[in-house]
Structure 1
Amino acid sequence: MEQRRLGNRNVAAIGFGTMSFGGMFGATDEATSLACLDAAVDAGIGHFDTANIYGMGVSEQIIGRWGRPDLHLATKCGIVNGPPRAVRNDEPYIRQCLEESLRRLKREHVDLYYIHRRQPDIPVEDVAGTMSKLVQEGKIGGYGLSEIAPSTLRRAHAEYPVTAVQSEFSLWTRLPQLGLIQACRELGVAFVAFSPLGRGMFGREPLRRDFRAGIDFRETNPRFTEPNFSANLAAIAPFRALCAQRGWTVPGAALAWVLAQGDHIVPIPATRTADHLRDWQVPDLDAADIAEIERILPAGFAHGDRYGDHQMAFVERYC
């Protein structure tokens, strides 16, 4: 697999997100998750992304029991489970969360540590200072920020170099193209794209609206509620037809489009099962292919916001 730079290491161009191991998209079990991790390594994936809030530690515990310290690993802190939902970026809390994550992961060091959401009343320069101490102490290899504005990145990077910025980015979520991807490229910061397959919308088959109430957060997500859900299925149908015509898998083509937006971009698709990894075969897209995909799915085509209002509370908006 193609390699891309993430901090001081080269990693496979496609990483792996583990949020679904914590049950965010429906029920799962540890044995299935472990088999999925093994299949990801067999597929050439070497960067794995988790967070302390995924299943309230479940995802980290699974990775810890998996026991692969040779692989590049990122985790996160900063979101305080509610209700009400809150964020904390103070140094004591960051340190406490890191120690708890390291225990679950069965590691003494994590390669990349993110602030999952920024606390508005703490200067980001202070957060960067905290993270720099953790780097110097050997606890983390580098630090990242998630769902921030380009201006925040520049301020943090001036205090202590940022390794990566993580934001949602896919064919139907294009906001990072309005400044964040460019700022990362300029500063030499990796851009890690989460949900590059639209939370299953660009999966092997069209989604059905049978999300489990109270378990799968898509059940109340604006893009997955009616009438938006049906409108989005209809909008994506011509893209599915194009993929079938060209012999591409739908997930593979969606990932190829994300990768084509910059050589500093590392998408981290997620799945609960090893079976879906077969669909992540990335075709070689030429300029004509990309133009045709963007004609079918132009920027802004999605119906509905990507988050509900309660989930947008600590996402920085800059356009």
Structure 2
Amino acid sequence: MNTKPATSLPTRRVGPFEVSAIGLGCMNLSHAYGQPPAREQAAALLHRALDLGVTLLDTAALYGFGGNESLLGELLAGQRDRYVLASKCGMQGVDGVRVIDGRPETIKATCEDSLRRLRTDVIDLYQLHRWDKSVPIEDSVGALADLVRAGKIRSIGLSEVSATTLRRAHAVHPIAAVQSEYSPWTRNPEIAVLDACRDIGAAFIAFSPVGRGFLTDTVLDLATFDARDIRRAMPRFSAENHAANRALLTQLHPIATAAGCTLAQLSLAWLLSRANHIIPIPGTTSIAHLEENMAALDVTLSAAQLAHIDQVMAPGAVKGGRYSGQNQGEVDTEEF
């Protein structure tokens, strides 16, 4: 098993920035998977990430309904020059309810709130968390372009959009990145948006690159999920689908063993091999897992191993949708 922490990380490009080839998704520190870690644990994780050379930190107004941005602002005070800061707008908490709102005035107001919480005067990459389909994408991106001109943000990203929507947005203002779910068990970016990103020079930021924990083969008993864990509502994690999907992991274990890596590192190395504009952002609350993830940069998979992963995890092999019906209707991604 490869557990050597990375000390000098390779980089990839997001807009005008060179960032570590694996970033850190910060959602887990405040949101989505049950009880968040104690403040001291979150601080230790963030500081260890910076010490390892992680230079892309990703948060959002939604996470913890502003709490995640506040956490980063507080815990990383005085260290702003050590990382590229990515956050998101267009989906946030309003009176305790998650709301998608891409109106220009809302985007601009959310940005001001985020800047205050993050204790910074500029956000490096500001992403539209969801396209509000009641608002033309051109209008939402136009508001983001206004924020660039005002010096509030440095570059623009989109999340969970199709290639068609990306191209419409890019016609208004250059798009530096698209962020969507991508891993061996979520292959839909390969339909079109990965190529569209390459064509326009945008990075592709892959969230949930280890399948919300599934691809680590540590999600064994669904009954242990916290009542607030978002995976409870995801069809792939239903009892029937989870059992069928775990059968796929039995075919990945020998590949990881032959490569001398963990299953998490196998997925991350697979992602990094797909294209040079892909940047995974695994999230974790564990320093041990953080170090394991970063050590994936030392893993090299052979062409035969990559082809074997592709075969095992081919589109259609995984049972169940990645979102519930309502949440699936909120995204704009191509689907197999």
TM-score by length of 2: 0.91
Native 8 Å contact 1:26 1:211 kept in 2 = no
1:74 has 2:86 as partner = yes
What is the alpha-carbon distance in structure 1 between the residues aligned to residue 225 and residue 310 of structure 2?
32
User: Does 2:63 correspond to 1:54?
Assistant: yes
2:5 maps to: none
> How do 1:130-279 residues align onto structure 2 when only pairs under 5 Å count?
130-203=143-216, 205-279=218-292
Aligned counterparts of 1:135 and 1:120: Cα–Cα separation in 2 = 23
User: 2:140 is paired with a residue of what secondary structure?
Assistant: helix
Is contact 1:162–1:189 with CA below 8 Å preserved after alignment? yes
Structure 2 match to 1:7:
15
Q: Secondary structure at the match of 2:157?
A: strand
Q: Which residue number in structure 1 is paired with residue 49 of structure 2?
A: 40
Establish whether residue 289 from structure 1 lines up as the match of residue 301 from structure 2.
no
Deviation of 1:290 (Å) = 0.6
Deviations 1:199-252 (A, max 9, x none): 001226354323434311112211111101111111112202321233111111
Match of 2:330 among 286, 289, 314: 314
Note if contact 1:174-1:300 (Cα within 8 Å) is conserved in structure 2. no
Question: CA separation in 1, counterparts of 2:220 and 2:199?
Answer: 37
Tell me the CA shift for residue 295 of structure 1. 2.4
What's 2:3 paired with?
none
SS in 1 for 2:115: helix
The answer as to 2:74 corresponding to 1:65 is yes
Comparing 115-124 and 263-272, the one that deviates more: 115-124
State the distance in 1 between where 2:15 and 2:223 align. Answer: 40
SS class of match (1:223): helix
Distance apart, 1:93 and its partner CA = 0.5
| 1:60–1:105 Cα contact (<8 Å) kept | yes
- Determine the structure 1 residue equivalent to 2:30: 22
Q: 2:330, 2:261 → 1: CA distance? A: 37
- Find the aligned partners of 1:278 and 1:85 in 2 and give their Cα distance: 32
Task: Answer yes or no: is the 8 Å Cα contact 2:259–2:300 preserved in 1.
Answer: no
Task: Give the secondary-structure state (helix, strand or coil) at the position aligned to 1:56.
Answer: helix
Residue in structure 2 matched with residue 109 of structure 1 by the alignment = 122
Q: Percent identity?
A: 38
CA shift at 1:85, angstroms? 4.8
What whole-Å deviation, never above 9, does each CA across 1:6-44 have from its counterpart, x for those lacking one?
110111110110111113112122111111111211222
Q: Distance in 2 between matches of 1:122 and 1:206?
A: 38
Letter of the 2:56 partner, please give it. H
Q: Measure, in 2, the Cα distance between the counterparts of 1:30 and 1:141.
A: 29
Per mean C-alpha deviation after superposition, the further-off stretch among 257-266 and 208-217 is 208-217
Q: Deviations over 1:72-123 (max 9, x none)?
A: 0111111144787541111111111111111111111110101100111222
Work out whether residues 65 and 92 of structure 2, in 8 Å CA contact, stay in contact via their aligned partners in 1. no
CA separation of 1:208 and 1:44: change in aligned 2, threshold 3 A: farther
Classify 1:297/1:55 alpha carbon distance in 2 versus 1 (closer, same or farther; 3 Å).
Answer: same
Calculate the aligned-residue CA RMSD, in Å. Answer: 1.6
Structure 1 position 51, deviation (Å):
0.5
Check the 8 A contact 2:61/2:92 in 1, yes or no: no
Flag structure 1 segments of 5+ consecutive residues without an equivalent: none
| 1:299 equivalent in structure 2 | 315
CA distance in 2, matches of 1:293, 1:196: 14
Question: Does the 8 Å contact 1:110/1:140 carry over to 2?
Answer: yes
Contact 1:195 1:270 in 2 (8 A): yes
Q: Structure 1's 84 and 48: CA in aligned 2 closer, same or farther, altered over 3 A? A: closer
Deviations 1:58-79 (A, max 9, x none): 2111100122211101111111
Structure with the largest fraction of helix: 2
Q: TM-score, normalised by structure 1?
A: 0.95
The letter of the residue matching 1:231 is A
- Per the alignment, in what secondary structure is the counterpart of residue 274 of structure 2? coil
Amino acid at match of 1:265: I
Number of equivalences: 319
